A = this chain, B = another copy of it.
Amino acid sequence: MAYPPSPFAPDHFPTLPPVPGVRLSACEAGVRYSGRLDLMLAEFAPNTVVGGVMTKSTTAGAPVDWNRTALKNGSARALVVNSGNANVFTGQRGRDAVEKTANAVSEAINCDQSDVFVCSTGTIGEYLLEDRITAKISDLTSTLADAAWEQAATAIMTTDTYPKGAVRTAEIDGTTVTLVGIAKGSGMIAPDMATMLSYVMTDAALSPEVAQNVITKGANKSFNAITIDSDTSTSDTLLLFATGQADHAPVTEIGEQRIHAFEAALDDLLIDLAHQVVKDGEGAQKFVEIQVTGAESDDAARRMGLAIGNSPLVKTAIAGADANWGRIVMAIGKAGEKADRDKLAIAIGGFQITKDGEPIPGYDESPVTEHMQGRDIELEIDVGIGNGQATVWTCDLTHGYIDINADYRT
């Protein structure tokens, strides 16, 4: 399972501060992997609220079903996550495994079972040996620490080549609140949802309705705007835990002015994490930003951006540093959104290539090719028919993706 690290891998995990009301631990449970962290626990102070969004897959795993139900209460006391086995397509045994895990955690930290969130990521269709998890709960609770972010982010990795974390702060009523997030990718990544697992913890005081509102909106601008391979996971889960330990009056109304700075910080944090997921996409060698403007609507722009970002022909051309913009034309054409071929304008790396549906006279490909040889690729498409716009991020499609995925389970 050792793949070459992404060229975007940072030198070290960022320094992330504690979030009041959150304690973390991780351990080696041997669920599938050996000799590495594969199980994490987060414990939240009483009165922590939670909001979240999950995969739209119709074949979602047992943990997703569990969390969907648990989300209805809006309260959370713990999150337990294992890697190596997704506990998907495992029938009644899979449901039992989730319940036993939640039960063990609820007993250990003395909370309601319905306040325990359970996630699993890894291979589909193999029974989860939950006793390997439950046997470790007392170890986990006895080692809970304030800022064990790196251990937690490492424990949830599958084919990720580096742990992913980020921090932002914001003010609510003059009080500084902290937001820390972790995430894991790194294949089977496409809306909706785009990441497999991501968790954001904050000490802000929010009502469950507000937490749900801000995480849903934030997801659409971040994890739902990235794609690695067009495949949607059966386990995708994004959760926002707000402990309410910060010293400000709770935000209880959706859209309150007081929460705007928090929302901006959350969006920024989620985009940062989403970019980290793309940059660690399986086999990724290049990070691609696709800006679509002039579409019929923002949704149409996003779907066009995703059609480009999902196109194997566009992605292989980028892998080969080939400024084959004709494939962008093709991808726009297949997006199923309103377009007028004769109004389409395309730029790569800031160099305008086409206008009014044909190449610009005297178009010189050499600076574009130079841009394509870099790590960060920028595509700009103006559809020319409206005001809709969106930004989508993806990576290239390389031999590394095939190396990793032709032989994932062995």
Interface residues in chain A, defined as those with a beta carbon under 8 Å from any beta carbon in chain B? 55-60, 86, 88-94, 123-127, 187-188, 190, 229-234, 310-313, 316-317, 319-320, 322, 324-327, 329-335, 337-342, 344, 354, 356-359, 397-399, 401-402, 405-410
**Closest 9 A-B residue pairs measured CB to CB?**
A124-B326, A320-B406, A59-B333, A91-B358, A57-B333, A316-B405, A232-B334, A125-B326, A58-B339
B330 touches A234 (CB 8 A): yes
A selection of 16 A-B contacts at a CB cut-off of 8 Å is A57-B330, A58-B333, A60-B341, A91-B342, A124-B327, A125-B325, A125-B329, A125-B359, A188-B327, A231-B331, A234-B330, A313-B405, A316-B402, A317-B406, A320-B405, A398-B402
- Establish whether residues A338 and B410, one from each chain, have CB atoms under 8 Å apart when the complex forms: no
Contacts A333-B57, A333-B60 given; does A311 touch B230 at CB 8 Å = yes
Nearest neighbor of A357 in chain B, beta-carbon distance: B91
Bound complex: CA of A169 vs CA of B127, how far in Å? 53
Could you tell me the distance in whole angstroms from the C-beta of A234 to the nearest C-beta in chain B?
A: 5
The answer to whether A322 and B406 have CB atoms under 8 Å apart is yes
Scoring A89, A326, A358, A398 by chain B CB atoms within 10 A of each residue's CB, the highest score goes to A89
**A310 partner residues in chain B, CB cutoff 8 A:** 230
Q: A102 to chain B: closest CB distance in Å? A: 20
A334 touches B57 (CB 8 A): yes
Contact among B60, B123, B316, B407 for A320, CB-based, below 8 A = B407
A281 vs B191: C-alpha distance when bound (angstroms): 27
Residues from chain B with Cβ under 8 Å of A329 in the complex: 59, 88-89, 124-125, 234
Q: Identify which of A55, A93, A359, A402 gathers the most chain B CB atoms within 10 Å of its CB.
A: A402
A405 to B310, CA, bound (A): 15
* Contact of A330 with B59 at beta-carbon distance under 8 Å, contacts A91-B356, A316-B406 already known: yes
Given A188-B313, A234-B333, A354-B89, the answer on whether A326 and B229 have CB atoms closer than 8 Å is: no
CB-CB under 8 A from A354, the residues of chain B are: 89, 125
How far does the alpha carbon of A125 sit from the alpha carbon of B354 in the complex, in Å? 9
Most chain B C-beta atoms within 10 Å of own C-beta, residue among A125, A233, A342: A125
Complex Cα distance, B89 from A198, in Å, reads 41
Q: How far is the CA of A7 from the CA of B90 in the complex (A)?
A: 37
Instruction: Give the CA-CA distance A232 to B187 in the complex, in Å.
Output: 23
A90 proximity list for chain B (CB < 8 A): 358
- CB proximity of A223 to chain B, nearest CB, Å: 15
For residue A389, give the distance in angstroms from its CB to the closest CB of chain B.
18
* Chain B residues near A340 (CB-CB < 8 A): 58
Q: Which residues of B contact A335 (CB under 8 A)?
A: 58
Contact of A233 among B93, B126, B330 (CB under 8 A): B330
Given contacts A55-B333, A89-B344, A324-B408, 4 further A-B contacts (CB under 8 A): A89-B329, A93-B358, A187-B313, A190-B334
Q: Which of B334, B338, B401 is A312 in contact with, Cβ under 8 Å?
A: B401
Chain B positions within 8 Å of A231 at CB level: 311-313, 327, 330-331, 334
* Chain B residues positioned under 8 Å from A232 (CB to CB): 330, 333-334
Q: Is the CB of A344 within 8 A of B59?
A: yes
Given B187, B337, B357, B407, which contacts A322 in the complex, CB threshold below 8 Å?
B407
With known contacts A89-B357, A91-B342, A312-B229, A405–B124 Cβ distance under 8 A = no
Asked if A326 and B93 sit within 8 Å, CB to CB, the answer is no
Smallest distance from the beta carbon of A271 to chain B beta carbons, Å? 23
User: Which residues of B have CB within 8 Å of A127?
Assistant: 359
Min distance, Cβ A278 to any Cβ of chain B, angstroms: 15
Distance in angstroms from A340 CB to nearest chain B CB is: 8
Q: How far is the CA of A409 from the CA of B324 in the complex (A)?
A: 8
Who on chain B is nearest to A359 by CB?
A: B125
A127 to B57, CA, bound (A): 44
Whether the pair B333, A229 counts as a contact (CB closer than 8 A) is no
Chain B residue contacts of A357, Cβ below 8 A:
89, 91
